[in-house]
Amino acid sequence: MFDVKQELPKAPLYREEFEHDNCGIGACVNIHGEKSRATVENALKIVENLEHRAGKDAEGKTGDGVGILTQIPHKFFARVTKALGMDI
């Protein structure tokens, strides 16, 4: 039996030679849980200020892309998954 406290699992998709640090991260939240356009606009400002992660290489021509993660409303997610035969 595998004991997580004693040994690491074999992960076929993980390869140590591809391990590297990220270049930066930012977070924008509303501590009251209120959804607003301002939160998304602030997240986009972070993207603008994290220049390397904003999809630019050292020459400023190409890059690896960037995105923001937003909350998916439960009602929307439930409707979409129901159409796929899944109940959440």
- Angle (CA) 14-16-19 rounded to 5° is 95
Q: Is 28 a known active-site residue?
A: no
Half-sphere exposure of 55 (CA within 13 A, CB side): 7
- Angle (CA) 70-71-73 rounded to 5° is 140
User: Considering 14, 23, 71, 77, which one is annotated as catalytic?
Assistant: 23
Task: Read off the tokens for 69.
Answer: 């993660």
Residue 55 CA to residue 43 CA, distance in Å, equals 15
Active-site residue numbers? 23
